[in-house]
């Protein structure tokens, strides 16, 4: 009841990254998905999304949770279908932890209001199951709908399938996607890992201003 009440009073729900349950396969994503499938919680989330113009954000494990719930790409808690996009093990079959370059593809999402299509950012990535996988039909649909938010690229902004840049082997080099209306965003790289002393010797802009953009949406 307390959780339901908190959601009913919120404007934003964020599913954070970070390891949970030993980060066993789907560890924290399963936990998130199970909790949010509760009838009361599910109803509160859908009221936030469908009636109250709220926003949702999922990073890394949080992105996995959004996928499992169906909040991306469907925009509602439906669970995954047999052919819906998913996140699976990196092609190198182990955890990766490094900086990655990503290119903004759309300006459809309020979360990306502080940037613009074509902008390139360097962001920490740390995951074992970050490979975005989808059928050709889904890939076509996501691009046509403007739901592909960000793609892995080289420092010059060239989208790449090279393992040096597309570190987990994601299909179409997709790093982040949104719901159909853009108000729900899921991405793998840790945009929240920001600070004056963080990655100071790394080339490239690092701040997508995602959190500032999310707050500004309600002003």
**Planar angle of CA 130, 194, 15, nearest 5 degrees:** 45
* Distance from C-alpha of 219 to C-alpha of 200, rounded to nearest angstrom: 32
* Distance from C-alpha of 13 to C-alpha of 169, rounded to nearest angstrom: 29
| Residue 23 DSSP one-character state | G
pLDDT at position 66 is 95
> Token pair for residue 101?
């370059």
> Which residues participate in catalysis according to the annotation?
60, 190, 192
> Token pair for residue 70?
């169906």
Q: 172 CB contacts (<8 Å, ≥6 apart)?
A: 132, 134, 139, 143, 148, 151
| Residue 163 DSSP one-character state | T
Nearest C-alpha neighbor of 177 from the set 14, 91, 64: 64
* Distance from C-alpha of 140 to C-alpha of 173, rounded to nearest angstrom: 13
Nearest C-alpha neighbor of 177 from the set 136, 153, 147: 147
**pLDDT by residue (tens digit) across 132-162?**
999 999 999 999 999 999 999 999 999 999 9
Residue-averaged pLDDT of the chain: 93
Band (195; pLDDT cuts 50, 70, 90):
confident
- pTM value is 0.94
C-alpha pair distances (Å), 47 with each of 8, 54, 88, 105, 214 = 8, 9, 30, 29, 18
Band (199; pLDDT cuts 50, 70, 90):
confident
* Distance from C-alpha of 182 to C-alpha of 146, rounded to nearest angstrom: 8
- Residue 205 C-alpha from the chain's centroid: 19
Cβ-based neighbour number of residue 60 at 10 Å:
29
Q: Is 189 helix (H, G, I), strand (E, B) or coil?
A: coil
Going along the chain from its start, the domains and CATH numbers come out as 2-216 (3.40.50.880)
* Distance from C-alpha of 157 to C-alpha of 149, rounded to nearest angstrom: 14
**pLDDT by residue (tens digit) across 8-63?**
999 999 998 766 555 555 556 777 788 898 999 999 999 999 999 999 999 999 99
* Residue 147: its H or E element: none
């Amino acid at each position: 009841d307390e959780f339901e009440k908190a959601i009913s009073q919120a404007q934003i729900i964020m599913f954070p990254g970070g390891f949970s349950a030993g980060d066993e396969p789907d560890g924290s994503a399963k936990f998130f998905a199970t909790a949010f499938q509760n009838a009361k919680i599910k109803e509160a989330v859908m009221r936030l999304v469908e009636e109250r113009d709220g926003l949702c954000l999922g990073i890394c494990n949080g992105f996995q949770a959004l996928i499992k719930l169906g909040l991306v790409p469907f925009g509602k808690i439906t669970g995954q279908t047999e052919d819906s996009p998913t996140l699976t093990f990196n092609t190198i079959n182990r955890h990766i932890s490094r900086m990655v370059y990503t290119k903004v593809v759309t300006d459809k999402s309020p979360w990306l209001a502080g940037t613009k299509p074509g902008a390139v950012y360097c962001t920490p990535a740390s995951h074992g199951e970050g490979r975005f996988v989808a059928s050709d039909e889904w890939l076509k649909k996501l691009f046509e709908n403007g739901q592909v938010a960000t793609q892995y690229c080289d420092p010059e902004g060239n989208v790449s399938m090279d393992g040096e840049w597309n570190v987990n082997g994601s299909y179409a080099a997709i790093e982040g996607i949104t719901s159909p209306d853009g108000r729900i965003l899921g991405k793998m790289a840790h945009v929240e890992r920001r600070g004056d002393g963080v990655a100071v010797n790394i080339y490239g802009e690092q701040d997508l201003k995602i959190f500032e953009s999310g707050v500004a949406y309600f002003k």
